[in-house]
Structure 1
Amino acid sequence: MLGLLQPPRLRVLIVCTANVCRSPLAEALLRDRLGRVPAGRRIAVSSAGTRVAAPGRAPDPRLRPLLAELGALLPRIRARQATGALLARADRILVMEQSHADELAELAGGELPQLSLLDPAGDIPDPYFADGETFRAVAGQIVAAVDRRAEELLASLVRGSV
């Protein structure tokens, strides 16, 4: 119960383009992974987009069954635009592509030291217009990256480096 009353020690913002596909998937998965560990409940996870065409839009309908297969739920996520205020509140910002990092740095008016790619190996492509097979392949890349990042975030809490 105590963990529920304490404010988050770490705020993570996950960013893609429209905030309807990649970042909601990563947000749901990261919340799920962190929620399984008591320390993980001290990490707040949210998402946003760099170019949100339809603020308030629900995530891509392909996400719910995919997350169910992975044993995770799709929380009530709605598309929202990344803003300077969101960036300022985030302790960590994870983006899908280098272009998102560039756009956010421009929005912030300079370098964002807390920003990195979700997948350290490189960009995660946008599967929005992709066929089912490609969509699943991109989802697999997100799952692997989220699993790695969840471990890193939990370790940073244990080390007290947040």
Structure 2
Amino acid sequence: MASPFRIMTVCTGNICRSPMAEVVLKARLAEAGLGDAVEVWSTGVSSEEHGNPIDRRASAVLREAGYTVPRRSARRVTAADLGSADLVLAMTAGHARRLRDLTDRPVVHLYREFDPAAPAVDGLDEHLLDIDDPWYGGMDDFRTTLAQVEAGAGGVVAAAREALARR
């Protein structure tokens, strides 16, 4: 069996946005029959939440939407992560800049680049594709984040399928 296509999602502390994207992508890839061919994991650009579980509000919103939420611990992105990922999906332009400072591989993209309804932007306007941090908000903010993640999931699945077909 060929090695899996590897996708990493990245946010700040790895307790809200990136694990939400990880959960959604794993579910969508499984639904598309690609669960065994694509590996998904998440990290953060900061170590401030290292070892903490997914935020309870993020977990609640995911479960409310029908997703299974695994036990997991937050961790900071490493050079090895960036070296082994085929696709790195940053939640904000700021995260993407930090990741691009760590690698010269052309694998870093904004998650919302895969959302067909997202605005078309050039490098100067990348922040328009940011997935807002729900941390300081309420449950509706987490629902908005989930909606943004779900909106891009189909495009990510399609990109993974295309990449696998080229192998």
Q: TM-score range by the shorter chain?
A: 0.7 to 0.9
Residue aligning to 1:130: 137
Query: Which ranges of structure 2 fall in alignment gaps of 5 or more residues?
Result: 119-128
What is the RMSD of the two structures over their aligned residues, measured on CA atoms? 1.6
- Identify which of 59, 64, 74 aligns with 1:64: 59
TM-score, reference length from structure 1: 0.86
Residue aligning to 1:117: 110
Listed one character per residue, the Cα deviations across residues 73-104 of structure 1 (whole Å, up to 9, x for unaligned) are 11222101001111001011000011111111
Instruction: State whether residues 40 and 154 of structure 1, in contact with CA within 8 Å, keep that contact through their aligned partners in structure 2.
Output: no
Structure 1 stretch displaced more, 9-18 or 62-71: 62-71
Q: 1:133 & 1:92 partners in 2: Cα distance? A: 29
Aligned length: 153
Amino acid at match of 1:113: P
Structure 1 stretch displaced more, 15-24 or 145-154: 145-154
TM-score, reference length from structure 2: 0.84
Query: Which ranges of structure 1 fall in alignment gaps of 5 or more residues?
Result: 1-5
The secondary structure found in structure 1 opposite 2:166 is coil
Listed one character per residue, the Cα deviations across residues 31-89 of structure 1 (whole Å, up to 9, x for unaligned) are 11111233332100000000120311100001222222322111222101001111001
Per-residue deviation, 1:7: 5.7
Per-residue deviation, 1:106: 1.4
Instruction: State whether residues 62 and 146 of structure 2, in contact with CA within 8 Å, keep that contact through their aligned partners in structure 1.
Output: no
The secondary structure found in structure 1 opposite 2:53 is coil
Q: 2:37 & 2:136 partners in 1: Cα distance? A: 35
Identity, % of aligned pairs? Answer: 33
Amino acid at match of 1:74: V
Q: 2:111 & 2:80 partners in 1: Cα distance? A: 21
Amino acid at match of 2:29: L
Residue aligning to 1:3: none
